[in-house]
Amino acid sequence: MTTGELFRPDTVKILKTLAKNRVELIDSINELRKKYPDEYVAFHENEVVGHAKDDNALRSSLLKKYGTIEHIAIQFISSKELQLIL
């Protein structure tokens, strides 16, 4: 890391991957709501890589499978649509 850099290059890569996965997850929210209502869903590289009712169980499963989960977007998918108040 050089002077003036806020993050190491590998950290920037992880953050970019996570952001991309989160956008793809949000873009797929309606489909995910039908398939995984009221579950936690793990999303990576435009696909669901895990899901469970329990967040800790999902994280544990993903850690066993991938060794790290910092690049995977995990989101609770409510069966109900969220209402935004602006």
pLDDT, one tens digit per residue, over 35-70 is 999 999 998 888 899 999 999 999 999 999 999 998
7-44 pLDDT tens trace: 677 888 888 888 888 888 888 888 999 999 999 999 88
Give me the half-sphere count of Cα atoms (radius 13 Å) on the Cβ side of residue 40.
Answer: 15
Judge whether 73 and 44 are in contact, CB under 8 Å.
Answer: yes
Residue 29 phi/psi, 5-degree rounding, is: -55, -40
Quote the pTM value.
0.75
Sign of the dihedral defined by the CA atoms of residues 40, 44, 45, 49, in that order? negative
